[in-house]
Structure 1
C-alpha cells in the first residue's frame, strides 16, 4: 500500500494527519485514545484496531478536497508519499 499526505491541523507535520491510499482508503495518524470510558463506547473493535482522535475541522477540510472530483487532489500511483510517523 502507498500513501499520500492529505493534510494536518498540527504544526511541523505532527499528529493528527490524514493520508489517502492507493486502495481508495484514508489512513488516520494521531494520538491513540486511552481514556477507559471513551474506549468502552467503541463497538466491535477487532484485534489490531485502535481509536484515534482527530479534530472535526481536519476531517471536513480534507473531505472537501478529496471529494471535489478534482483529479489534482486524487492519489496518483507512483507519486512520492510520506509514511506515517506518529
Structure 2
C-alpha cells in the first residue's frame, strides 16, 4: 500500500494526520484510548482526532 500525507494540524512530527492510500481510502493518525466505552471488533480500532484536522483537509482541498 502506498500512503501519501494529506494534511496535519501541527508543525511537529507526531500529531493527528490525514493520509490517502492508493486503494482509494484514508488513514487517520490520532490519539488512542479505551475510555470511549465502545465495543470494537477485532482488527478495528478507534482513534480520536481534532475536528480542525478535517476542517483543514477540506479547506486545503485534499478531500
Q: Which has the larger radius of gyration?
A: 1
Counterpart position of 2:10:
10
Gaps of 5+ in 1: 68-86
Q: CA RMSD for the aligned pairs?
A: 1.6
Following TM superposition, the consecutive aligned residue runs of length 4 or more in structure 1 with deviations greater than 6 angstroms are none
Q: If the length of structure 1 is used for normalisation, what is the TM-score?
A: 0.61
**CA positional deviation for 1:61:** 1.8
Deviations 1:16-67 (A, max 9, x none): 11100111111011221221xx1x2x35x22121111101011122134124
**Long gaps (5+) in structure 2:** none
TM-score by length of 2: 0.79
